[in-house]
Structure 1
Amino acid sequence: MIFDFYGTLVRMVEPLPPSHRSLFLRRGLADAAARWGDQWAAGPRDGEEHTAHSGSEQAYHAWELDRLRRRALACGVPEAAAGELAADLDRATKELRLALFTDVPVALSGLRERGLVVAVCSNWFWDLDRAIDGVGLSGLVDTAVTSARAGARKPHPLIYRTVLARCGLRPEQALFVGDMWEADVAGPLAFGMRAAHLWRPDRAVEGVAPPLPDGAVRIASLGALSSLL
């Protein structure tokens, strides 16, 4: 059983990290703040392969900072301020307070009791293992694969191949569970896995749920997983 992390197992809770706009404004960079756009837009794109930057934590972090610095420069931030601003933006992106959804501990404990391998596969920063430990899940998760270390973001096949290898499973033996359509449903299906689309009543994802293709189911809670096995 392979789970997405954010939006599936955990959610963000207050106090929230500072907004990117606030970090620009405290430096008097209102025009650059307006040009920046979405707070999360500077990261690698979903489906992007970046193995050249994923050789070590230091190399990956340097790439993260360079992306932010170059975007800041493109938004009109002066060269002298861009490096420090990039470091602050990086911290703001990662200083997230996370909490488990209430259905997670019982669902994962039940899977472990049935002898199933439980894995996490996430488009996340380098320290996914520390984030899992921070919410108290390390004892319920056998292995975790983050895009930062795998060298590609879901729905790139490389990250699915990596997590399946860690689990010792063939694609047809795995069920992928997540809240994002392309990354957690369409991508796993294309790789030969089955998929469970988590469509929580209090989901962060807006819009209408896409029609379910063959090999996929839709659930409103992780408590429904036991009936699928």
Structure 2
Amino acid sequence: MVVTDGTRAVVLDFYGTLVRMVEPLPPDHRGIFARRGLAAQGELWGDQWSVGPGEGEEHAAHSADETTYVTWERDRLRRRARACGVPEAELDGLVAELDRAMKAVRLELYPDVLGVLAQLRERGLLIGVCSNWFWNLEDCVDAVGIGGAVDVVVGSARAGARKPHPLIYRTLVERCALPADRVLFVGDMWMPDVLGPLAAGMRAAHLWRPDRAVEGLAPPLPEGVVRITGLGELVRAAGPGGGAGRGGCG
């Protein structure tokens, strides 16, 4: 079974598990640089997604509130732009546009999400979302249409650390108000969604969708971890009456 009789909460990763990016895609940073006459600096920038906090990074000092966090995000962009040779007079406008572009992602739910969340709810389970994301994770959950189906939302920006840092999992378990071993974590990323939750005392299910964004081969499963190819396997494997009652949201 995936959702066992002892499971009282199912927590799902967001991007790659519940939602995927669809067109129109965010603007490429090279075009933003080029429009400002900074094409050469744009070529030095590299991967436009790599400037954010790294996997497992702790940043609690910058997560006190939204203004502090966004200022920190933009300061990182500013330092990188300056290192690429962007003139000081161009920094503020360029950084503001880059920040907006990186967050201009269009998302849609995978087809299996709504039905599975409804079935988990019918089983009396607490449902959570835990993701490495910008400050607006709660807004994004609402925007894709599942805000009313989710009890707990824990994003890295507000928690002060990115998966697989232990801090975000501690925050999650506290918000669920349940023992960690009653929480099943489901996600497509190996370290953040499988090994991290296991180290925090949760159970884990590795989602390996046929149309996954993650490349490469699936790692061997640790004892007690299951691999699924779609969210429907969570409830099909459980059968009726799989839940043991919802915990508090904390």
* Same fold (TM > 0.5): yes
Residue in structure 2 matched with residue 159 of structure 1 by the alignment: 168
2:49 corresponds to 1:35: no
Structure with the greater alpha carbon radius of gyration: 2
**Aligned residue identity for 2:52:** G
Residue in structure 2 matched with residue 7 of structure 1 by the alignment: 16
**Aligned residue identity for 2:25:** L
Deviation digits for residues 71-124 of structure 1 (CA, Å, limit 9, x no counterpart): 110111111111111111110111111100000000111001110000000000
Q: Secondary structure at the match of 1:144?
A: strand
Residue in structure 2 matched with residue 222 of structure 1 by the alignment: 231
Displacement of 1:193? 1.0
Residue in structure 2 matched with residue 186 of structure 1 by the alignment: 195
5+ long unaligned stretches in structure 1: none
Residue in structure 1 matched with residue 130 of structure 2 by the alignment: 121
Q: Secondary structure at the match of 1:85?
A: helix
Q: Secondary structure at the match of 1:215?
A: coil
**Aligned residue identity for 2:232:** G
Give the Cα separation in 2 of the matches to 1:195 and 1:180: 11
Q: Secondary structure at the match of 1:164?
A: helix
Give the Cα separation in 1 of the matches to 2:179 and 2:94: 44
Alignment of 1:105-120 (within 5 A): 105-120=114-129
Contact 1:178 1:197 in 2 (8 A): yes
Displacement of 1:32? 1.3
Displacement of 1:69? 0.7
Deviation digits for residues 4-59 of structure 1 (CA, Å, limit 9, x no counterpart): 00010001111111111111111121221111111101101110100000000010
Give the Cα separation in 1 of the matches to 2:206 and 2:98: 32
Give the Cα separation in 1 of the matches to 2:69 and 2:224: 35
**Aligned residue identity for 1:134:** A
Give the Cα separation in 2 of the matches to 1:61 and 1:68: 11
Residue in structure 2 matched with residue 71 of structure 1 by the alignment: 80
Higher RCO, 1 vs 2 (CA within 8 Å, ≥6 residues apart): 2
**Aligned residue identity for 2:102:** T
Runs of at least 4 residues off by over 6 Å: none
Residue in structure 2 matched with residue 206 of structure 1 by the alignment: 215
Give the Cα separation in 2 of the matches to 1:32 and 1:182: 33
2:60 corresponds to 1:51: yes
Displacement of 1:215? 2.5
5+ long unaligned stretches in structure 2: 1-9, 243-250
2:100 corresponds to 1:91: yes
Residue in structure 2 matched with residue 103 of structure 1 by the alignment: 112
State the percentage of identical aligned residues. 65
Q: Secondary structure at the match of 1:224?
A: helix
Q: Higher helix proportion, which one?
A: 1
Contact 1:189 1:215 in 2 (8 A): no
Q: Secondary structure at the match of 2:20?
A: strand
